Structure 1
Amino acid sequence: MPKMKTRRAAAKRFKAVGNGKFKRKRANLRHILEKKAHDCKKRAGKTDYVDQADLGRVKAMLPYA
């Protein structure tokens, strides 16, 4: 059986962690930051984990993670 291909776009966005979850970056921290509240930017700067509902799809895209 041939090797499964990894979705490269997903590999750049998600990192597997030891407990079976995947780390991801939060949105809203790229541009137009002047008008955004400090709390909003602080929250967006923290890493987050992939939601349970999306976990199966991410695992399918990253078969070797």
Structure 2
Amino acid sequence: MPKMKTKSSCKKRFKVTAKGRVKAGQAGKRHGMIKRTNKFLRNARGTTTLAAADEKIVKSMMPYSR
């Protein structure tokens, strides 16, 4: 049986933690910072873990990350 392929887009954007959660960068920080509140910018630093429904989608595209 041949190896399954990982989606390259997922490989670049997501990491799987030791407990199996999916880690991703925060959204909404590419442009338009002037209209965003300081609180939003502060809270959107670093990374976040995805919701369970989104996790399922990402994990289906990364077969060897389980």
TM-score normalised per structure 2: 0.88
Q: Tell me, in whole angstroms, the C-alpha distance in 2 between the residues paired with 1:7 and 1:16.
A: 14
Partner of 1:51: 51
TM superposition outliers: structure 1 runs of 4+ over 3 Å: none
Flag structure 2 segments of 5+ consecutive residues without an equivalent.
Answer: none
Give the structure 1 partner of residue 63 of structure 2.
Answer: 63
Query: How many positions carry a matched residue from both structures?
Result: 65
1:26 corresponding residue in structure 2: 26
Query: Over aligned residues, Cα RMSD in angstroms?
Result: 1.1
Structure 1: runs of 5+ lacking an equivalent: none
Secondary structure of the residue that 1:24 maps to in structure 2?
strand
Identity %: 38
Task: Look up the equivalent residue of 1:54 and give its one-letter code.
Answer: D
Q: What TM-score do the two structures reach when normalised by structure 1?
A: 0.89
3-state SS of paired residue (1:12): helix
Q: Are 2:22 and 1:35 aligned?
A: no
Letter paired with 1:6:
T
Counterpart CA distance in 1 for 2:6 and 2:40 is 33
